[in-house]
């Protein structure tokens, strides 16, 4: 009876340590967004203490400002997350947001003199969301039925939505005068009030939190969410499994557009004016938030939680650089560097886990 080959204790020890080290690196890569956010907050706190003898992290005004800074990129990034997980990309969200802002302002101004302010808000809200869904529907039809590449299809809609928004606005911003909308956009809601201790959160932040929770549930708990992961992981296998890829693709681009439309409405509420270019600078931020949060541009992976952390990182960079008196143009450099680092870490993680890195 043959004996099993003897194993070398040194080889076993090396293999064990190699496996352990690989596991640590993989875990660190998967938590890169959390780690980077922590390092950013600690870095700005140290800078504030040394340079200004004040706190950055434990200042309620700073916390509220960062939360408000997060709203715009996050609302675009929530829908973008669904698109990226499916293996696509939506370049039209920036001007879909601007289109919704202009439509909302126009309808609100037309109805304010006829309807009570709250009812005028509801009418303008519904019309603006329906208007924002149209670019998403067209994107979905182009990509799912006509097989236009997502980059090309949504880039074309980027131009169409941009032109229509500017034409409707007459090339300028559209101011509004509605006390209900102004209250929602600029007033906080007190959640806790005990003596001199108060916890207040801006209403637009609370609305964003509610939408984020709904998106998180949809992606992680619904059949629609599971189908998106399957489509992004392997489209052909999804078709063979009986998943309606066409219907799901159209639905996710509509969802992305409506999420951007809500961003345009909250932008209008915050600044009391709708602007065609409301989301122009937020397109890069929305993609950056998704990628920094751990989603793969190859599709099949990503979470809403990661996207929230990614959006917070961008907001902390933007507000933090202003807080420490650095020229605001460095924000673009910093966000670009973070994107490159995130993609490199994502590629490294895939090599460690044996996942695909190209298609």
Categorize the per-residue pLDDT at 125 as very low, low, confident or very high, splitting at 50, 70 and 90: very high
Categorize the per-residue pLDDT at 36 as very low, low, confident or very high, splitting at 50, 70 and 90: confident
Counting the structural domains of the chain, the total is 1
pLDDT at 166: 95
| Alpha-carbon gap, residue 282 to 188, rounded angstroms | 24
pLDDT digits (tens, 9 = 90+) for 272-286: 999 999 988 899 899
Tell me which residue range forms the domain holding 84.
34-347
Residue 211 has pLDDT above 60, yes or no: yes
23 lies in a domain? Answer: no
55 lies in a domain? Answer: yes
pLDDT digits (tens, 9 = 90+) for 153-200: 999 999 999 999 999 999 899 999 889 999 999 999 888 777 777 788
**CATH number of the domain residue 85 falls in:** 1.10.3470
343 lies in a domain? Answer: yes
Question: What is the average pLDDT score of the chain?
Answer: 87
pLDDT at 18: 43
26 lies in a domain? Answer: no
Greater confidence (351 vs 108) lies with: 108
pLDDT at 22: 45
25 lies in a domain? Answer: no
91 lies in a domain? Answer: yes
pLDDT at 2: 52
For residue 192, give the 3-state DSSP assignment.
Answer: strand
359 lies in a domain? Answer: no
pLDDT digits (tens, 9 = 90+) for 92-108: 999 999 999 999 999 99
pLDDT at 199: 81
Greater confidence (19 vs 308) lies with: 308
Residue 354 has pLDDT above 90, yes or no: no
pTM, 2 dp? 0.87
Output DSSP code: residue 193: E
pLDDT at 193: 75
pLDDT at 131: 96
7 lies in a domain? Answer: no
Greater confidence (345 vs 231) lies with: 231
Range from 146-155, 191-200, 249-258 carrying the lowest mean pLDDT: 191-200
| Alpha-carbon gap, residue 52 to 195, rounded angstroms | 30
Task: Determine the average pLDDT of the residues in 46-65.
Answer: 89
pLDDT at 250: 96
For residue 165, give the 3-state DSSP assignment.
Answer: helix
29-35 contacts: CB < 8 A, separation 24 or more?
29/345, 29/346, 29/348, 29/349, 29/352, 30/294, 30/349, 32/294, 32/342, 32/345, 33/292, 33/293, 33/294, 33/306, 33/309, 33/310, 33/313, 33/342, 34/309
pLDDT at 301: 87
pLDDT at 123: 94
């Amino acid at each position: 009876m043959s004996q099993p080959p003897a194993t070398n204790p040194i080889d076993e020890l090396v293999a064990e340590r190699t496996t352990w080290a690989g596991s640590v690196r993989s875990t660190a890569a998967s938590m890169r967004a959390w780690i980077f956010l922590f390092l950013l907050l600690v870095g700005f706190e140290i800078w504030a203490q040394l340079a200004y003898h004040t706190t950055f992290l434990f200042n309620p005004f700073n916390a509220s400002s960062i939360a408000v800074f997060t709203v715009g990129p996050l609302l675009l990034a929530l829908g973008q997350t669904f698109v990226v997980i499916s293996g696509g990309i939506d370049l039209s969200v920036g001007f879909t947001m601007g289109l919704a802002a202009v439509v909302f302002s126009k309808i609100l101004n037309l109805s304010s003199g006829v309807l009570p302010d709250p009812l005028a808000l509801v009418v303008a809200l519904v019309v603006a969301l329906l208007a924002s869904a149209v670019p998403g529907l067209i994107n979905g039809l182009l990509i799912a039925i006509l097989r236009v590449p997502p980059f090309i299809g949504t880039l074309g809609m980027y131009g169409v939505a941009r032109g229509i928004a500017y034409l409707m606005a007459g090339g300028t911003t559209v101011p509004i005068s509605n006390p209900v909308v102004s209250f929602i956009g600029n007033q906080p809601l007190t959640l806790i009030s005990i003596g001199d201790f108060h916890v207040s959160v801006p209403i637009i932040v609370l609305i964003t939190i509610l939408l984020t929770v709904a998106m998180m549930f949809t992606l992680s708990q619904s059949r629609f969410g599971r189908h998106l992961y399957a489509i992004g992981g392997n489209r052909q296998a999804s078709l063979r499994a009986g998943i309606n890829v066409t219907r799901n693709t159209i639905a996710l681009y509509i969802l992305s557009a409506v999420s951007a439309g809500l961003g345009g409405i909250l932008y209008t509420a915050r600044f009391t004016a709708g602007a065609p270019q409301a989301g122009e600078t937020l397109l890069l931020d929305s993609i950056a938030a998704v990628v920094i949060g751990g989603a793969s541009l190859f599709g099949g992976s990503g979470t809403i939680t990661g996207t929230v952390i990614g959006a917070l990182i961008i907001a902390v960079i933007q507000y933090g650089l202003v807080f420490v008196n650095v020229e605001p143009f460095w924000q673009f450099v910093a966000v670009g560097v973070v994107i490159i680092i995130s993609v490199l870490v994502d590629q490294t993680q895939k090599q460690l886990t044996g996942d695909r890195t190209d298609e």
